[in-house]
Amino acid sequence: MSKSRFPFFLSFITLLGFSSQIFAQWEALPEKAPAPADNPTTAAKVELGRSLFFDPRLSSTGTVSCNSCHNVMLGGEDNRPVAMGVHGKTGGRSAPTVWNSAFNSSQFWDGRAKSLEEQALGPITNPIEMGLKNHTVAINRVRAIKAYTPMFKKAFGGKNPVTIDNVAKAIAAYERTLITPNSPYDRYVKGDKSALSAQQVKGMKAFAELGCSGCHSGPAFSGPAMAPGTGFFMKFPTYSKNEYVKKYDLMADKGRGDKHEWKVPTLRNIALTAPYFHNGKVDTLEEAVRVMARTQLNKKLTHAQVEELVAFLQALTGEFPAQPMPRLPSTDGWTFTSK
């Protein structure tokens, strides 16, 4: 059975009346993210990556940084329906959260990037996002900021370390530190039974019994552990003959391979990342729960079920490590707009 079809099997079993509780393996979020062999996480890389992540000079206008759409001072995205890039341009999809993105099996809504490194380079040359002509222009900008060179040498060594690949590696290394452990849910599954309220425990049980855990499994609630770059995808909407599909225009974007397939997103900190779904059309978490139940499980929830599920999802908000604003390497007596 293909990995992309596995969720359909789980939903089918649930609809037959079997509890998907047997599939729910409640896991706490690890406090450290795995790193690829060719990009081990080091303090020097993280420091460099943080600066690059916050540096708007990687955009054509000098106004848009990675943090503009993936705000680590908030929930890791921008709380807009769709992201806004250079010159106020907007795309068709909402910005996914960068928090806990290290645990995704692929990146972007359609999973087209296999790694954080690959994902980091995409927006820089996207005409709607950061708008630079190509990666040669991007790395020439970084090289022109002379104070970056010693940071790259410290992070990577070698004679000519200021490369576009190392830009990607540094940003990815920083992003792998963006982990939010020790949520009430995490404390609960580690043995602290007072960490969740009675309503949240009911929501946790409903999450499994209704079939939500068929897709939103694993420690990040984004699917099972898989080889990096493999991707875990689900058709959305699965059930299209309902009022929500038209109301929220869920069929307009065909997703991965024009099949309406999407990467299963994390539910960590979901209470902080409204509006919801790939198109940002749903304003509240309560409504998002109703939409998912109807479009993915073909079920209508009671008011009590919605409240219980929302209470449980709120328990997935973790602890955010402090994010000191970096002092960016400066230019001396000139700017890119003056060149």
Name the residue with tokens 């250079």.
86
Cis geometry, peptide bond prior to residue 265 (ω within 30 degrees of 0)? no
Name the residue with tokens 């001072």.
73
Kindly name the residue from 77, 117, 129, 261 that is annotated as catalytic.
129
Judged by DSSP in three states, 283 sits in coil
Query: Could you tell me the two tokens for 154?
Result: 């410290």
Strand partners, 256: 261
b/e map of 79-95 (b: 16 or more CB within 10 Å)? Answer: eebbbbbbeeeeeebbb
Active site residue 129: yes
CA distances from 2 to 8, 84, 125, 231 (A): 10, 35, 33, 12
DSSP string, 173-216: HHHTT------HHHHHHTT-TTSS-HHHHHHHHHHHHHTGGGTS
- How many of the other CB atoms lie within 10 Å of CB of 204? 23
Name the residue with tokens 């080091």.
42
Name the residue with tokens 């939103």.
216
Q: Which residues are catalytic?
A: 129
